[in-house]
């Protein structure tokens, strides 16, 4: 039954006291949300901490939840706000060490151990290209391509207008194409800046 209910219906049920409604909601969003946070901070332990903080905020804000937008938009807005707080605090402490970054680059994706070496290398190239983007461009690319959010939803999450989001996506995709040698001209690149979502 829970599998048939929308995210919004599950969140409203959870807010109304139906504790078991939280489990399918969490199960649907935990993987994509964690990957989104990890791509932003690039350090596993930090991502895990921020991930827990985001879900804690969901729990404490449940009484104030209103389905005025999709649940995923609301969730990623919480995550973006928490990331903003993290970056502000990070200006007062040193960045991750080179050892931490090297260890992160060596880690294989635990969800896809059967990938061949060539696929792994391609993913590493893409990850490095994403990391080279300015944070605002990287954020919109990840929200668009990995979370498949509309330009409007990304605008709500980031606080930027639709045209700003579209412009950031365009610049980011141009930089990714240049860095990857023009290999990303397929449907993924077209979907990023399209207006049909």
Pick from 65, 99, 133: which residue ends a domain?
A: 99
Q: Is the same domain home to 117 and 32?
A: no
Burial (0-12, 13-18, 19+ Cβ within 10 Å), 151: buried
Pick from 99, 131, 146: which residue ends a domain?
A: 99
The lowest-confidence range among 28-32, 90-94, 147-151 is 90-94
Confidence of residue 106 (pLDDT cuts 50, 70, 90): low
Coil/strand/helix, residue 188: helix
- Domain range for 192 is 108-197
The secondary structure element, H or E, covering residue 61 is none
- The mean pLDDT of the chain is 82
Neighbours of 168 (CB within 10 A): 23
Q: Is the same domain home to 143 and 185?
A: yes
The span from the CA of 88 to the CA of 119, in Å, is 35
Question: pLDDT for 111-142, tens place per residue?
Answer: 444 444 556 677 778 888 888 999 999 999 99
The span from the CA of 90 to the CA of 165, in Å, is 25
21-35 average pLDDT score: 95
Q: What is the pTM of this model?
A: 0.62
Indicate whether 86 pLDDT > 50: yes
Neighbours of 107 (CB within 10 A): 8
Residue 146, Cα to own-chain centre: how many angstroms?
7
85-113 average pLDDT score: 63
Indicate whether 189 pLDDT > 90: no
Number of structural domains (the chain) is 2
| pLDDT of res. 184 | 42
We report the CATH number of the domain holding residue 162 as: 1.10.10.10
- Give the torsion sign (CA, 119, 123, 128, 130): positive
């Amino acid at each position: 039954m829970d599998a048939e209910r929308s995210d919004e219906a599950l969140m409203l049920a959870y807010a109304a006291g139906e504790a078991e409604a939280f489990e399918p909601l969490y199960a649907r969003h935990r993987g994509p949300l964690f990957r989104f946070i990890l791509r932003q901070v690039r350090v596993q332990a930090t991502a895990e901490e921020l991930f827990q903080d985001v879900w804690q905020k969901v729990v404490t804000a449940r009484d104030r939840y209103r389905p005025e937008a999709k649940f995923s938009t609301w969730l990623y807005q919480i995550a973006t706000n928490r990331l903003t707080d993290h970056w502000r605090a990070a200006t007062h402490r040193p960045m991750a060490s080179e050892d931490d970054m090297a260890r992160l680059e060596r880690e294989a994706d635990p969800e896809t151990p059967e990938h061949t070496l060539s696929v792994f290398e391609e993913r590493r190239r893409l990850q490095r290209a994403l990391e080279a983007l300015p944070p605002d461009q990287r954020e919109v690319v990840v929200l668009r391509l990995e979370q498949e959010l509309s330009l409007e939803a990304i605008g709500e999450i980031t606080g930027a207008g639709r045209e700003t989001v579209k412009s950031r996506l365009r610049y980011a995709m141009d930089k990714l194409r240049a860095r990857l040698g023009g290999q990303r001209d397929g449907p993924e690149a077209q979907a990023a800046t399209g207006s049909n979502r």
